[in-house]
């Protein structure tokens, strides 16, 4: 079910004719994809409710006028006629607004039923008004309110009949049964229609709520995917550029004294650059495929780069070798058996990658960089990356200014599995990153969702 304004439901199932947007907005203003309601007459009066109210008011007006003329010809007293006139006019006006003030209409109708004098025929218009009021109460208020006024109206009509019949017990009994039956029928019809109206309103409200929740879930999923892609882009760019800059600086310093070493460094720069470009195209390929653009990149001959699994623990040693080539004296210690959980392996890889990138960018003349991965615990993996480098001094060469996104992304990635990351300086000098990564509660679910994710 689509809420896109550009999507317009068809007029009938199997029909190729498309409804005009204006007509769709008339019966589906919230764009819930609802079908057109059947029935031309019912649809017309639903769109124009004031027509019914005006017709009812007109019919009651002419009925009340006839009743007043009959009262005047019966030589009734002037105050009694004036009372009937006022009540009739008030009832006529209340009928026009019966959807909004049904209780007021019921009260005036009850007073009109009581204002009966000998020879008057005003009870007939009072009954009509009460029937309209009871129906409106059941539809637009509640069944309880309609039943309450049914009892009040029956009592009022009976008292009015007794007053007109000079307290005849037989007249009162017949009036009670007759009026009561008419009022009960009007109330039952109103309850039936009102229940259907309230049920349809609840269905529409529920559909609107589900549409809002669906849109909110889509927005949350989009935000989550953007955050994930941002983390992947940061890991690729920060790692690759940091290593390439370090290798390029080393090649520049060794260009005159050791040309062969400079050539090897630039060869590493070229290799890392090509690998990073491929990884970048894989990440961006998700966005182009989602938008329907399947065109390839001209830099690679126009062919699409296939999706690849996320890095595993087996790729950690080549990663460390690339940092060693950039000048970091790294020692790697692995304790315990590597788990099969691909989500844990990916998290360990990204934590080590980010920690080594920070060490390469900010640590000054480190004599050792230690990477320790502990898999000995059955339900917990610990990763520790520490160095003994000095902090940057005022007269040292400028380094790139970090945005802090690396540590934030590392904490977010570990927090997905209920883990924690501690990062800070150590004594007497250096920096230490310590991550605790619990085993994923549902590793199969997480691995299946990430195996086809671009690097």
- Print the SS3 string covering 244-312: HHHHHHHHHHHCCCCHHHHHHHHHHHHHHHHHHHHHHHHHHHHHHHHCCCCCCCHHHCCCCCCCCCCCC
287 — pLDDT class (breaks 50, 70, 90): low
pLDDT tens digits, one per residue of 115-157: 765 444 446 778 888 999 999 999 998 999 999 999 999 998 8
Taking residues 281-290, report their average pLDDT.
Answer: 61
**What domain range is 434 assigned to?**
307-392+399-455
Per the domain annotation, does 112 fall within a domain? yes
Q: Per-residue pLDDT for 237 more than 90?
A: no
Q: What is the pLDDT of residue 403?
A: 55
Last residue of a domain, one of 157, 176, 210: 210
Per the domain annotation, does 242 fall within a domain? no
Q: Are residues 194 and 311 in the same domain?
A: no
- Cβ-contact 358, 431 below 8 angstroms: yes
The pTM of this model reads: 0.47
Whole-angstrom Cα distance, residue 96 to residue 400? Answer: 76
**3-class SS of residue 373:** strand
Q: Are residues 202 and 70 in the same domain?
A: yes
Q: What is the pLDDT of residue 118?
A: 46
Q: Higher model confidence: residue 215 or residue 38?
A: 215
Q: What is the pLDDT of residue 453?
A: 33
Per the domain annotation, does 268 fall within a domain? no
Q: Are residues 201 and 328 in the same domain?
A: no
Per the domain annotation, does 356 fall within a domain? yes
Number of separate domains in the chain: 2
Question: Of 76-90, 169-183, 292-306, 373-387, where does the model show the most confidence?
Answer: 373-387
Per the domain annotation, does 446 fall within a domain? yes
**CB burial of residue 145 (10 Å; 0-12, 13-18, 19+):** middle
**3-class SS of residue 327:** coil
Q: Per-residue pLDDT for 186 more than 80?
A: yes
Q: Are residues 326 and 436 in the same domain?
A: yes
Q: Are residues 197 and 313 in the same domain?
A: no
Q: Are residues 195 and 80 in the same domain?
A: yes
Q: Which of 250, 288, 285 is nearest to 269 (CA)?
A: 250
Per the domain annotation, does 269 fall within a domain? no
25 — pLDDT class (breaks 50, 70, 90): low
Per the domain annotation, does 22 fall within a domain? no
Query: By mean pLDDT, which of 57-66, 131-140, 260-269, 278-287 is the weakest?
Result: 278-287
Structure tokens at 15: 């029909």
Question: Of 227-236, 348-357, 396-405, where does the model show the most confidence?
Answer: 348-357
Q: Higher model confidence: residue 348 or residue 162?
A: 348
Taking residues 219-233, report their average pLDDT.
Answer: 72
Q: Per-residue pLDDT for 434 more than 90?
A: yes
Per the domain annotation, does 321 fall within a domain? yes
Q: Are residues 197 and 319 in the same domain?
A: no
235 vs 50, 232, 280, 372, CA distance in Å?
65, 5, 10, 20
Q: Residue length, the chain?
A: 455
Q: What is the pLDDT of residue 402?
A: 53
Q: Are residues 174 and 317 in the same domain?
A: no
318 vs 153, 321, 324, 381, 436, CA distance in Å?
91, 5, 10, 21, 23
């Amino acid at each position: 079910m689509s809420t896109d304004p550009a999507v317009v439901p068809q007029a009938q199932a199997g029909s190729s004719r498309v409804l005009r947007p204006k007509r769709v907005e008339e019966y589906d203003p919230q764009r819930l994809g609802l079908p057109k309601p059947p029935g031309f007459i019912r649809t017309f009066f639903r769109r124009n409710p004031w027509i019914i109210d005006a017709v009812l008011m007109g019919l009651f007006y002419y009925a009340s006028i006839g009743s007043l003329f009959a009262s005047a010809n019966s030589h009734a007293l002037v105050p009694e006629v004036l009372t009937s006139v006022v009540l009739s006019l008030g009832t006529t006006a209340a009928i026009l607004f019966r959807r909004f003030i049904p209780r007021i209409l019921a009260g005036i109708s009850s007073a009109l039923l009581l204002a009966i004098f000998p020879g008057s025929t005003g009870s007939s218009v009072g009954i009509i008004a009460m029937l309209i009021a009871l129906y409106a109460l059941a539809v637009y208020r509640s069944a309880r309110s309609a039943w309450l006024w049914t009892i009040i109206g029956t009592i009022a009509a009976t008292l009015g009949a007794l007053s007109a019949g000079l307290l005849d017990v037989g007249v009162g009994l017949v009036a009670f049964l007759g009026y009561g039956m008419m009022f009960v029928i009007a109330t039952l019809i109103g309850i039936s229609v009102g229940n259907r109206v309230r049920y349809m309103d609840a269905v529409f409200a529920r559909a609107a709520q589900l549409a809002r929740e669906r849109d909110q879930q889509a927005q949350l999923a989009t935000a989550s995917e953007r955050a994930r892609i941002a983390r992947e882009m940061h890991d690729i760019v920060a790692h690759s550029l940091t290593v390439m800059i370090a290798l390029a600086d080393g090649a520049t310093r060794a260009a005159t004294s050791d040309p062969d070493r400079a050539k090897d460094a630039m060869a590493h720069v070229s290799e890392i650059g090509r690998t990073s470009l491929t990884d970048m195209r894989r990440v961006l390929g998700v966005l182009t495929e989602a938008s329907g653009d399947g065109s390839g990149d001209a830099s690679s001959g126009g062919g699409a780069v296939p999706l690849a699994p996320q890095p595993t623990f087996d790729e950690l040693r080549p990663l460390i070798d690339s940092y060693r080539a950039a000048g970091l004296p790294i020692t790697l210690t692995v304790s315990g058996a590597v788990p099969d959980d691909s989500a844990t392996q990916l998290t360990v890889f990204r934590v080590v990658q980010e920690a080594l990138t920070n060490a390469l960018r900010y640590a000054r003349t480190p004599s050792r960089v230690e990477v320790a991965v502990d898999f000995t615990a059955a339900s917990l993996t610990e990763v520790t990356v520490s160095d003994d480098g000095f902090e940057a001094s005022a007269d040292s060469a400028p380094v790139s200014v970090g945005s802090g996104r690396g540590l934030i992304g590392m904490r977010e990635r570990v927090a997905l599995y209920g883990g924690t990351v501690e990062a800070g300086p150590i004594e007497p000098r250096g920096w230490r990153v310590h991550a605790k990564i619990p085993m994923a509660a549902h590793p199969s679910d997480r691995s299946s969702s990430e195996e086809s994710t671009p690097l």
